[in-house]
Structure 1
Amino acid sequence: MDVISLLGMVVQVQVPASPAGISGDGGAVCLWMAMGVGVVALVAAWMLARHVLCCETGTPEMRSISDAIREGAEAFLKRQYRTIGAIAVVLAILLFAGYHMSERTAPFAMKTVISFLVGAVCSGLAGYTGMYVSIRANIRTASAARGSLNKALQIALRGGAVTGLVVVALSLLGVGTLFLFFGGLTNPQTVPYQLVGFGFGASLVALFAQLGGGIYTKAADVGADLVGKVEAGIPEDDPRNPAVIADLVGDNVGDCAGRGADIFESTAAENVGAMILGAALYPVFGVKGILFPLIVLAINLIASIAGVFVVSTNETEDPMRALNRGFYLTSALALVGFAVAVYTMLDGPTVKPLWLLGCGVIGLITSFLFVWITEYYTESRYRPVQSIAAASLTGPATNIISGLAVGMETPALPVIAISAALLLSYYFGVQGLSDVAGVTDYAKGIYGTALATMGMLSCAAYILAMDTFGPITDNAGGIIEMSNQPESIRERTDKLDSAGNTTKALTKGYAIGSASLAAFLLFSAYLEEIKVIVADKVHLAGGYMPPGWSFTNINLAQVPVFVGALLGAMMTYLFSSMAIKAVGRTAQMIVKDVRDQFKENPGIMAGTLKPDYGRCVHIVTGAALKEMVMPGLLVVCMPVAVGLIFRHFSASYQATSEIYAPGTILPVPAIAGIPVNLAGAESVAGLLMVGTIAGILLAMLMNNGGGAWDNAKKFIETGQYGGKKSEAHKASVVGDTVGDPFKDTAGPSLHVLIKLLATITLVLAPLFV
């Protein structure tokens, strides 16, 4: 029996004796078109970068400040990537050795390691390229603000668009190239299972990039705020603050490189997971169903390029309105493109494409809902932020209590939105394929949820451009402030900075929403892969899979599954604790150094001496890189340990089965008369399922709670409840400081964690059975 027929049996589909190759149903054209668009997007990114870098760089004083930010960011990123590279090489060797532990998995070792390293390199390259442009776009945005708000807006957005386009294009080209290299032209149905390493590599780099960048940015921010604002009473971005350059560097390494790696991971995970599910439905759609995610990414790139180029504003308009116009155009073009792709690729005499298009629409609507919900909980116009600001009147304690209460409230609406999206897209998937014979409703519904995930990520490049816009404008405002530019220029950068703060908050909501759908997609892909592995094992032992067997019912009442679930939930809290502690320890070092500089050089506060900015940058760089390792290794090691331990213990239990009386039900089930140890796979499924749920809820609490604390402080700074330097303002600064590691370190890192859990289990699934 060949592998294609075996896969068809697993999903209960009658496979043609000689399925059409990739060239037989236009798949080759689709693949080359998608990759061609990826190349065009890289060219567009290069043109945008060239345009931005050709712009004026302002006064010598502005350039010296920008150079300090650039040098600090590049030094951190180089040291961080060396650390990540070393960890990736060690894991690649362990992965190769682990696959060679079994004769059944040994043939796939090299391809898995190659895809892992390619994913890691593409993710790192995407982050570095985006950072390279953003730390040079800040000075050019600041310089442009001296003449025009519109020019400054366009430079900042186009600088951010370089990150967005490069991230999505490299994700598309990385997966597409591996598909070709691994023989996708001749074996399209089996190759997607060999791409799971790509998602793991992307996830690994994303976790360390987000975690290390988050520790850096928030330790510098907390240290600068506690001593500068609270103790010394100087404003934000004041050049007298020794930690101000480290704070501005942190905006780039956390919000730019970190979020870029996060979105790269989401698109990579969605690609691989959807292609695996497409392979399961190969007899329905052919190779087009497998390549459909790559076409959607190509449409995403085209729509995002158009959205970026239409953004313009004037001196009186809120820049956020101009950014929203670009987002609406991008969404409209993405929807039209998605519809064309559905009707031309997911076609067939028994397929109802309108239902499948509805799945993508549901995903797109869900992205809007997440943006709106995040705005509601983090904007000062609405009740949650205003309630925290009012609570600040009675001190820091009530500010903290109110902020935690808001944070705990925030998961309610997003969870309802995710639940509705999953249920509706599952139903739409079943309806769209209702006339297709031989496919289970579960397979139909899960493919519907995959289409919804594609729909939600169909504007990813523009969303990432908006996110990177935030640190660019924040840095531009800091450069204007530190170089003592006229107040009229600062007013322009304040408008841009305000819009940037909004985009950063909204993209965090988008990121957790897309991570939630992508995680469910990957969980489904994990179950599908276990089915294929079990079928392969039974076939090699001379048996045949019984009709109707599936690995979709994970019994939480089984002790291994329940223990795995408990460990998964626990891990998200332990990881968050480690991340927040890391920020606290690093911030303490910054606070001590800033205090020492003020004490050693009284001329700093008088404005007659410049602080030693490099000392703070050096301290926070070393500490952040050291602190990021242990939380990252926790996430990598936990699912591996759970899967291998439960598989080993269950196998040992089976080895002593002769002590039982005949007829006793043994812990290792038999499929077609062949013992198959599923304890490891089931316990990992429990860890993955409950760990994902706990991570999603905790991330929402931290992201939105931290954002609400931050904007409550800014609301008071507008003159409400006594304004700046009032008791309410001091209390709100404390709340904002508590919320900083929530919203910019632990929360965003949890987005990556839940996807890394899924990708590592996909890669190591053969070792758990």
Structure 2
Amino acid sequence: MGLIEMSMWLGLASGLIGILYVVGLIVHITRIRILQDDENSKRAAQIHEYIKSASMAYIKAQFTVILSIISIISIILIVIGVVTGSSLVLWTGVAYLLGGLSSATVSIVGMIMGVLSNVRVLNALTKKGLKSALSLAFRGGSVTGFLVGGIGLVGTAGLFIALNGFADPVNVTQILLGYAFGASTAALFARVGGGIYTKAADVGADLVGKVEVGIPEDDPRNPGVIADNVGDNVGDCAGMGADLFESYVEGMIAPMAIAAVLGSLDLVAYPVLFSATALIASIAIAQFVSVSPFSQPGRTLTATSILSIIAAALINGVVTYAMAPTIAPAFIVGVLGLVAGAVVGFTSDYFTSPLYKPVKIVAQNSQFGPALTILSGLSMGFYSTFIPGIAIALAAVASYAIGSVLSTTEKLLAGIYSAALAGTGMLAVAPIVVAADAYGPIVDNAAGLAEQAGYEEDVRSLADMLDSAGNTMKSISKGYAIGSAALTALALLFSFASVLSSRSGLRVDQVMQTIFNAGHAEYGAYFIGGIIIGVVIVAVFVAMVIQAVSAAAGRLVDEIRRQFREKPGILEWKERPDYERAVQIVTFYALRRLIAPGVLALLAPIVIAVTGPASGDIWKGAAMLGGLLTGSIGSGLLLGLFQGNVGNTWDNAKKFVEAGNFGGKGSETHKAAVVGDTVGDPLKDAAGPAINIMIKVMAVSSSVIIPLILFGL
């Protein structure tokens, strides 16, 4: 059995182990009873039911829309394949559908388990203490995290095994790009819809409750509080899970497609081998949370992330040198990706954690009013993009240089393969990163339940300690997500050039020179024009998402004000707020507004590409599309990192003030910090994370759809 067969079967086996591990976690969590042995726990259980029913209603409505879009696109591809007799198009349509269903499964199951975990974590906190609650919350998040790795490997390796006997590796990997495209499409709409929902609810509830009325966050008198709790789950559990799932599979498939054109089956196999080994290592390291010697939850989660990177590197080194010593440079490239991911993640931690200087500077400036809160936060947000950008650039350049030794004849193609493989390395520990991120909304909801149900101050302070660690991990994962998106989109850009090479019969260097060489007399203007369009289209996408959040939040503000005005007994604890109406409003606007940004990302590459055939030269369209993807990756990396970090900087500056610094809660400093937090909310949890998927959707659709448009079926 050759390396390609062993790697694919190992990938399939590792994926199944990951899924079985998730099944065990689900059984363990659902067997824990929801305690109702006193008035506080009864109230918490009742609020939990509100959150659960509203979350399920929203996710059902959202994925009805998303799966309808996925089904229509896949049916179109399948019908075209049948009518034209093109097995490539037919199987691409099937793979596209499977990718969309896989992404939906990760998103839906992860969100459900996040919701089921929150009240159980609160019970564990009150009955067994901080460490038990931390372990349970991380297990709840691990359902999403290890579904990413398990389903991703089963889908990628399983499809390769199933198709390998019916098509050559080039066509098989192009069909796998269809799987990635389906996952990206589902993730884009899930991320946009979830982001609009969660931030509209958060902003609307805060603007009236905390700023106008002066009641605490998560106060049960606020009609928007349940919608806010629901938003944590549909945004960070469902949205982030789908986001990093599609990154995970694209991180494997893009270098596989390049290696297939290169003609090396060993290099086709290696991304799956690296990811499969890292998944097993991550499952082992995940157990560290339960036995950690650290008393602080944040230190435990940070140590778990670091250990997963070290374990993935060490075990992959042993496996590579045992199974494939001739491609050892590929292992070094994978490690470069792991290191780049760590740099990106922990730089985000530095700029967003209240332990460090940037957050304290923003909090200090809030003493002088909201204008300086905003300005100081903006400066820290832009500073925070520098080190991650340099790290990603160095990883790509160093990987290219190392990878050129993988082939003596096709050095260019081997180099771009290695640059793509760095993305595989960065994403190899995505299961742990997603688990730590999905931990965040679980403990956020647990802290909210403690506040709303009237638990004692000691319980609420412990819940806040868990929540504080969750905020830090969410900051790290958002930085990690956009960093990996940039490398993955770069890999997909290279796979686009490789697919064009295989379809056109030109060498890859000829394709690259044509579509990426701005000095080329005939195509340079098209490439430069594409870059400009790529830069501004990301800005338009961001504007659409923020506008959607603003519209939904404004409508929720009107509703909360109406309830306070017409039911004055709410603030006196004499009347129950109409939580259901608030949830309905946010749901309606989120579903109404999620379509347009997604359609923009799907159609932009197609519209750009057809300008070539319309002018009589398909390479003009290809050159402009190459520029579009290049420009979108550059501006997307900047705006994604900036928005994710600046939003969390403002959020934690507010929390730093609430901890008693610079006047504490209720002070003018606090009011200014709340304004910063409110401005940052749609940036860090809606527009910023959605950019991750947008740039990858445009890149992967270019590899799947555009060659069919340019060169026929």
Deviating more after overlay: 588-597 vs 297-306? 297-306
Specify the code of the residue in structure 1 equivalent to 2:9: W
Contact 1:292 1:345 in 2 (8 A): no
The corresponding residue for 1:708 is: 649
Unaligned runs of 5+ in 2: 37-41
The corresponding residue for 2:409 is: 438
What is the CA distance between 1:107 and its match in structure 2? 4.0
Aligned 1:155-304 pairs, distance under 5 A: 155-184=136-165, 187-283=168-264, 287-304=265-282
Return closer, same or farther for 1:451/1:339 CA change in 2, 3 Å cut-off. farther
Deviating more after overlay: 274-283 vs 421-430? 274-283
Equivalent position to 1:328, from 276, 294, 306:
306
Q: Within the alignment, does 1:589 sit opposite 2:525 as a pair?
A: no
Equivalent position to 1:466, from 436, 440, 451:
436
Return closer, same or farther for 1:583/1:525 CA change in 2, 3 Å cut-off. same
RMSD (Å), alpha carbons: 1.9
Equivalent position to 1:358, from 332, 338, 361:
332
The corresponding residue for 1:555 is: 517
Superimposed CA distance per residue, residues 502-525 of structure 1 (whole angstroms, 9 cap, x where no aligned partner): 111110011111111111111111
Deviating more after overlay: 174-183 vs 127-136? 174-183
SS state at 1:678 partner? helix
Return closer, same or farther for 1:54/1:481 CA change in 2, 3 Å cut-off. same
Deviating more after overlay: 717-726 vs 574-583? 717-726
What is the CA distance between 1:473 and its match in structure 2? 0.3
Deviating more after overlay: 493-502 vs 59-68? 59-68
1: CA distance between counterparts of 2:364 and 2:380? Answer: 13
Rg larger for: 1
Return closer, same or farther for 1:701/1:329 CA change in 2, 3 Å cut-off. closer
Equivalent position to 1:580, from 527, 546, 550:
546
Contact 1:184 1:191 in 2 (8 A): no
2: CA distance between counterparts of 1:455 and 1:482? Answer: 43
The corresponding residue for 1:484 is: 454
The corresponding residue for 1:768 is: 710
The corresponding residue for 1:658 is: none
Deviating more after overlay: 338-347 vs 107-116? 338-347
Specify the code of the residue in structure 1 equivalent to 2:373: N
1: CA distance between counterparts of 2:435 and 2:368? Answer: 40
What is the CA distance between 1:94 and its match in structure 2? 4.2
Specify the code of the residue in structure 2 equivalent to 1:384: P
Between Structure 1 and Structure 2, the one with more helix by share is: 2
2: CA distance between counterparts of 1:320 and 1:185? Answer: 49
Return closer, same or farther for 1:126/1:300 CA change in 2, 3 Å cut-off. same
What is the CA distance between 1:316 and its match in structure 2? 8.1
Return closer, same or farther for 1:650/1:186 CA change in 2, 3 Å cut-off. closer
Unaligned runs of 5+ in 1: 1-22, 536-544, 652-667, 669-676
SS state at 1:381 partner? coil
Equivalent position to 1:66, from 32, 41, 48:
48
The corresponding residue for 1:520 is: 490
Deviating more after overlay: 138-147 vs 374-383? 374-383
What is the CA distance between 1:230 and its match in structure 2? 0.5
TM-score under structure 1 length normalisation: 0.88
The corresponding residue for 1:735 is: 676
What is the CA distance between 1:393 and its match in structure 2? 1.3
Superimposed CA distance per residue, residues 173-229 of structure 1 (whole angstroms, 9 cap, x where no aligned partner): 111222123235773354112211111100011111110000000000001100000
Contact 1:307 1:329 in 2 (8 A): yes
Contact 1:388 1:709 in 2 (8 A): yes
2: CA distance between counterparts of 1:137 and 1:548? Answer: 52
Return closer, same or farther for 1:404/1:99 CA change in 2, 3 Å cut-off. farther
Superimposed CA distance per residue, residues 88-145 of structure 1 (whole angstroms, 9 cap, x where no aligned partner): 22222444567789x6x94422111111111000000111111111100001001100
Contact 1:312 1:322 in 2 (8 A): no
SS state at 1:608 partner? coil
Return closer, same or farther for 1:224/1:144 CA change in 2, 3 Å cut-off. same
2: CA distance between counterparts of 1:443 and 1:174? Answer: 26
Superimposed CA distance per residue, residues 470-495 of structure 1 (whole angstroms, 9 cap, x where no aligned partner): 00000011111111111111121111
Superimposed CA distance per residue, residues 375-422 of structure 1 (whole angstroms, 9 cap, x where no aligned partner): 111112323222221221121122122222222222211111111111
Contact 1:149 1:315 in 2 (8 A): no
Equivalent position to 1:602, from 557, 568, 577:
568
Q: Within the alignment, does 1:120 sit opposite 2:86 as a pair?
A: no
Specify the code of the residue in structure 2 equivalent to 1:37: S
Equivalent position to 1:130, from 100, 110, 120:
110
Equivalent position to 2:638, from 679, 697, 706:
697
Specify the code of the residue in structure 2 equivalent to 1:624: A
Aligned pair count reads 699
Q: Within the alignment, does 1:505 sit opposite 2:475 as a pair?
A: yes
Specify the code of the residue in structure 2 equivalent to 1:50: V
SS state at 2:101 partner? helix
Aligned 1:401-480 pairs, distance under 5 A: 401-430=375-404, 432-433=405-406, 436-439=407-410, 441-480=411-450
Specify the code of the residue in structure 1 equivalent to 2:105: L
